[in-house]
Structure 1
Amino acid sequence: MATKHHFLQATACTMAVAAALPAPAFGQTANASEAETRYAALAAQERAKAGDPAFDYALGLAASDAGHYGEAIVALQRVLARQPDNAPARAELARAYALAGDIDTARAQFATVVDDPTIPDPVRQRFTGFVRQFDKQIKGGGSDVSGFAEAAFGHDSNINSATQLTSITIPLFAALGPGTLGNGARAQKDEFYDLSGGVSAVSAVSRQDRVFGSLLGNFRDNLDSAAFDQASLTGTAGFAHTFANRDVASLSGQVQKYWLGHKGFRTAYGAIGQYTHMLAGGKALSASVQYTRFDYDRDPLRDADRFAVGLGLAARQFSVNLIGGHEETRKQAGDAESNTFAGASAGAEVQIAPKVAVVGGIAFDLRRYDRADLLFMRKRHDERVDVTAAVKIAVLPRLFLQPKATWSRNWSNIALYDHERWTVQAGARFEF
């Protein structure tokens, strides 16, 4: 939840800059209720006193403080109609335009104030800073780079996600009785260390258009069993367009390489189209369509095409996601691996102390396979639950300690795939 999503909020910076304009540069402001009271008292006199520059200036200031930006703009324009050289009124007008979201006009008004020789240098410097901020927003917000690096050490009760059973009966060979499972097919426990890191970048190409990209890597080494060591590298690049209502449409491509036991296992590549609708309170609702192609290095019968649709709701402290789709093997002989799936997940990060947050997540995945497994002579049905709980402790502004525990349970009608798994770990994460 700490990661940045600038390309999903490309226009939100406009209001953030406007809301951050310091009130002392333009006059003393009051709290919301006091500002509304003051504005109501002055508005009641507007019919009788409109046109008086002193009154209109006071009314414009009160209207801005109370959030009535349209009324503030009208009142301050009346001041400037009579007193074109009134620099404080022009500055207040620029502030009202900025708070209303019209940064083009706000920038022009501030630039005019900056050129006024009667403005004290400290105030002029602040106005010049506002102009630079507006120029950046007009060009789309510039560029940004963020990332993280994380290291952890822990214990895994089932590094190969295998059954706890030591023997199993295969229907096709039932006459031979139960068969003993080899070590690779039985649950193995081990200690591990995990290294991961990533970097993402976004750059504006215009006010409403941005390009973005990211690279994410992970390596997990089991201390006693190299056969189940894992590594992955994922690259993403895309384009996002922000509409006037702050909604965002994006299209991205993604490539991932996955290694198992220090050997290439699978390559995946595909495309994601997403539309995000911005809601009040910093929330966002998104819908996506995804296509992924899987190529297995040593098992071509599992090569498949995956199609999925997703819905998500994200807020500052939580997120909820739904996904569903179908994965179809490209060769008929591997159709027992084709499946229809659906899933739901939720996560939250809640701060419980100035430097301590509790992080939790839960996910559910359901899969129904198309054809009967050749050995077990039945269609496979799986349901899986994953639960994560962690504590995030800030030791420095960008450095966090994070002890974490996860529990996974996969229920399957084929005993070979029925398993349970626990992991506990402690690690450190640096974000930039």
Structure 2
Amino acid sequence: METLHAALQPVYADVLRRNQGETEFHQAVFEVLSCLSPVVEKRPEYVDASIIERICEPERQIIFRVPWVDDSGEVQINRGFRVEFNSALGPYKGGLRFHPSVYLGIVKFLGFEQIFKNALTGMPIGGGKGGSDFDPKGRSDGEVMRFCQSFMTELYRHIGEYTDVPAGDIGVGGREIGYLFGQYKRITNRYEAGVLTGKGITWGGSHARTEATGYGTVFFVNEMLAARGDSFDGKRVVVSGSGNVAIYATEKVHQLGGTVVAASDSSGYVVDEAGVDVGLLREIKEVRRGRISEYADIKGSAVSFVSGGSIWDVPCSVALPCATENELPVDAAKALVGNGVQVVAEGANMPTTPDAVDLLTEAGVLFAPGKAANAGGVATSALEMQQNASRDSWTFEHTEQRLAEIMAGIHERCVMTAEEYGVPGDYVAGANISGFTQVADAMLALGVV
């Protein structure tokens, strides 16, 4: 609290009081508020109009029961969520996460982050998030389909291409989006392609959407390096995770001349000094839905598998946490600094703990927060919405070029905003202030709504 501006301390105290036990949400709010001191001094109208209090309170929070029948005929009950956080810039936009850890606090943290991430893209989209405590791991396609159909039977009444546009997140890939969209189409009797993003290419999806979050993270880091006369060429890189974001971040690093030497999942990590084989990783994780240890089994003695442990013990110049929130604690940050890391960029949402961020920045490591570095996914979702609205389909090359331009624009916006508010070189402050001021100005213009 003592690091917050005096005008912001009661705001944060109220967030704690009204959202008890939601630690991830508290963390996300504090991270943004801690950057706003120069904004409060320069733009007192935000305080006078209670913009900051309003931006911390979701416009709508929806919680619902999701009953479904498993393959043995047993009725299962899960809980569904959709937090429609802020629509000042456009329809709510943000993914759905299916994972046992999902509860209201996780969804609110993700939705709050999404507000500013979406603003940074420069696209006309607001912020929201949703999901369920359903675990698709180990479930048959039939079980996943029945769950998704039940989930959408409630969710459909709250979404629409001009209202709220969900996408995928952890546990929600092309299979789940397909089942969700099929049920939406069935219930509404409309082919409203723009209501969900992350769709298949043949039924309204966008080229490069699958790759976008991982590619975008690497594009952002490339801009950070280029601003200092450097590049990925010859860089040793560690990417945590082995899901969609990690796979395509790895692919783009290799295309730009770097070498990703490690990948992980919840069971441990592998080290492949020759460079992680993206094709094999994709086969194991996306086709077989297997474990990272299988990579080492197939590759043999040239690759080592470490059960448990920390992937951040592997020396690297660039670290890309692409798995989940709070996966990079302060001890891991110390290991990275000790091994000479130069850049850390968040491919996941809030994967670095606050004390780890402080340690990295104090050590002079370039640090890119997720709301800037991993905005490529939602940016390309917005491009998918554009294509749906115009009944058009762009090439992969055109879409990737637009993604690269958007990420370069986010980098420039972060740098310029940090300089404008007296914190040059601080990507965290630049991202938070830029995203916040765009949303706050729109809220002022719209009145007390």
The answer, yes or no, to whether TM exceeds 0.5 is no
TM-score normalized with structure 1 length? 0.28
Greater relative contact order (Cα < 8 A, sep 6+): 2
Greater fraction of residues in strand:
1
Greater fraction of residues in helix:
2
TM-score normalized with structure 2 length? 0.27
- Which of 1 and 2 has greater Rg? 1
